[in-house]
């Protein structure tokens, strides 16, 4: 018989970290974004003093499942008065962590939430390629007379390789291979090139001075998304680096040209997968493509180290599509009790109105999309 232990105090989560880590290591389909290293760092920077409802699922005394839920009363991550998983636009994956049958786990969690809350409004992000998991979610929801709304949530380019660097290159076009070789030759012919990798907490601290130089001279600084300008980001990544360094997961790569730091890739390795969590370059060196050249070095090294999936994370872009040979498709899921007006309206809009407009008024849909991109307030109203 599965039972739920609810933790509502962030400070109490530290008492569960050891068994949580073991659950993540053994979890069915579990990845880095379900580990306490990621979630605890995320909570410490982006969810300070806000309520949580972590549901630890046990079989006897053994931890067999976890739903790391946040009480999103203000609607910071989803609609207001909902329970949401800790996600952000860069790392969209968030799901239940489990070592037991998924449907049994979901049944236990849904029953507990209905008994303690009376109704459910649950928001999470899901990988569409895990179709069986999505189907199980819908079946488990139906068992409890809950509805599931599925919305597209974009894609994240990845490199998937069963082999070495040459195998990866063969998965790309001949034009791509020529361009990569040309860019590398051009950069190495113009500069004295050096690249380093920080893996320990001490190496991270030393490297951060150079990382901040790169961030300050990058386009991300002007856009307000660098370590220096985006609220909480520097402390988040520093905390995460220290946690991951102690587990030997940290891979902070830097590229130097004539001993000047010009590009970095903040990477993490977990279960044979490389996560390119944060990356940028000094715009003064844009014409030498330092970021792309550094990616060549890092991908080659990762494959030599046994990595088989290199996740570029974030939204799709031209440069990511050029180096990726696959992608992860995502969906935003809302699991909710029926007869809730706001949720029923969202379902009607997504499942009926939008498909009707796409078919019968495609030009109007494009006009609305353009307006939303140019006027952010419309985007918030329309969503």
Give tens-digit pLDDT for 322-348: 899 999 888 888 899 976 666 665 666
User: 282 pLDDT exceeds 90?
Assistant: yes
Q: What is the mean pLDDT of residues 300-314?
A: 93
The two structure tokens encoding residue 350:
């997504």
| Model confidence at 268: pLDDT above 50 | yes
Q: Fold match between 2-153+330-338 and 162-307?
A: yes
Report long-range pairs for 131-135 (Cβ below 8 Å, ≥24 apart): 133/29, 133/95, 133/102, 134/331, 134/333
Angle, helix 102-117 to helix 131-143, in steps of 10 degrees: 40
pLDDT tens digits for range 149-166: 888 888 889 999 888 999
pLDDT digits (tens, 9 = 90+) for 98-147: 999 999 999 999 999 999 999 999 988 878 767 788 899 999 999 999 99
Closest-CA residue to 204 (of 291, 267, 116) = 267
162-307: CATH, from 2.40.160.40, 3.40.630.30, 3.30.460.10, 3.20.20.70: 3.40.630.30
CB atoms within 10 A of CB 382: 11
Give the count of beta carbons closer than 10 Å to the beta carbon of residue 315: 13
Percent of the chain with pLDDT over 90: 64
Q: Which residues contact 17 (CB under 8 A, 6 or more apart)?
A: 36, 40
Distance CA 238, CA 109 (A): 33
Q: What is the pLDDT of residue 354?
A: 66
Residue 201: band (very low, low, confident or very high) from pLDDT cuts 50, 70, 90: very high
The pLDDT value given to residue 150:
87
Q: According to the model, what pLDDT value does residue 366 have?
A: 72
CA angle 95, 97, 103 (to 5 degrees): 85
Write out the two tokens for 154. Answer: 């974009």
Name the phi and psi angles at 333, rounded to 5. Answer: -110, 135
More confident residue, 313 or 362: 313
Mean pLDDT to the nearest integer, 57-77: 94
* 374: pLDDT strictly greater than 80: no
Indicate whether 281 pLDDT > 70: yes
3.40.630.30, 3.40.605.10, 3.40.50.300, 1.25.40.10: CATH of 2-153+330-338? 3.40.630.30
d(CA 295, CA 301): 10
Residue boundaries of the structural domains of the chain: 2-153+330-338, 162-307
What pLDDT is recorded for position 308?
93
First-to-last C-alpha distance (Å) of the chain: 40
**pLDDT-based confidence at residue 248 (cuts at 50, 70, 90):** very high
- Output the pLDDT for position 341: 60
- Work out whether strand 273-281 and strand 309-311 pair parallel, antiparallel, or are unpaired: parallel
């Amino acid at each position: 018989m599965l039972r739920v232990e609810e933790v509502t105090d962030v400070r109490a989560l530290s008492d569960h970290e050891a068994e949580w880590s073991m659950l993540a290591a053994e979890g069915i389909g579990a990845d880095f974004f379900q580990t306490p290293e990621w979630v605890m760092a995320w909570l410490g920077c982006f969810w300070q003093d806000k309520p949580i409802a972590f549901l630890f699922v046990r079989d006897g005394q053994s931890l067999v499942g976890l739903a790391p839920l946040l009480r999103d009363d203000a609607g910071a991550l989803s609609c207001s008065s909902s329970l949401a998983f800790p996600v952000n636009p860069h790392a969209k994956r968030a799901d239940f962590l489990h070592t037991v049958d998924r449907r049994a786990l979901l049944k236990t969690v849904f029953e507990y939430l209905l008994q303690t809350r009376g109704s459910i409004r649950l928001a999470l992000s899901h990988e569409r390629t895990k179709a069986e998991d999505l189907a199980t979610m819908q079946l488990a929801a139906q068992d409890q007379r809950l509805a599931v709304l599925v919305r597209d949530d974009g894609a994240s380019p990845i490199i998937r390789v069963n082999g070495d660097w040459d195998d990866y290159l063969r998965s790309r076009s001949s034009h791509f291979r020529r361009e990569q070789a040309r860019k590398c030759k051009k950069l190495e012919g113009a500069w004295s090139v050096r690249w380093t990798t920080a893996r320990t907490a001490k190496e991270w601290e030393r490297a951060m001075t150079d990382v901040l130089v790169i961030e300050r001279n990058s386009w991300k600084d002007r856009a307000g998304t660098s370590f220096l300008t985006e609220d909480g980001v520097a402390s988040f990544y520093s905390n995460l680096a220290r946690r991951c360094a102690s587990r030997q997961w940290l891979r902070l790569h830097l590229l130097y040209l004539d001993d000047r730091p010009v590009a970095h890739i903040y990477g993490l390795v977990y279960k044979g997968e490389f996560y390119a969590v944060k990356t940028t370059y000094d715009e003064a060196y844009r014409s030498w493509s330092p970021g792309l050249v550094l990616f060549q070095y890092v991908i080659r090294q990762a494959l030599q180290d046994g990595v088989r999936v290199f996740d570029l994370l974030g939204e799709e872009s031209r440069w990511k599509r050029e180096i990726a040979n696959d992608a992860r498709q995502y969906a935003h899921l809302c699991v909710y009790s029926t007869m809730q007006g706001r949720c029923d309206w969202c379902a009607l809009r997504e499942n009926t109105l939008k498909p009707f407009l796409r078919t019968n008024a495609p030009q109007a849909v494009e006009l609305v999309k353009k307006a939303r991109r140019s006027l952010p307030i419309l985007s918030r109203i329309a969503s």
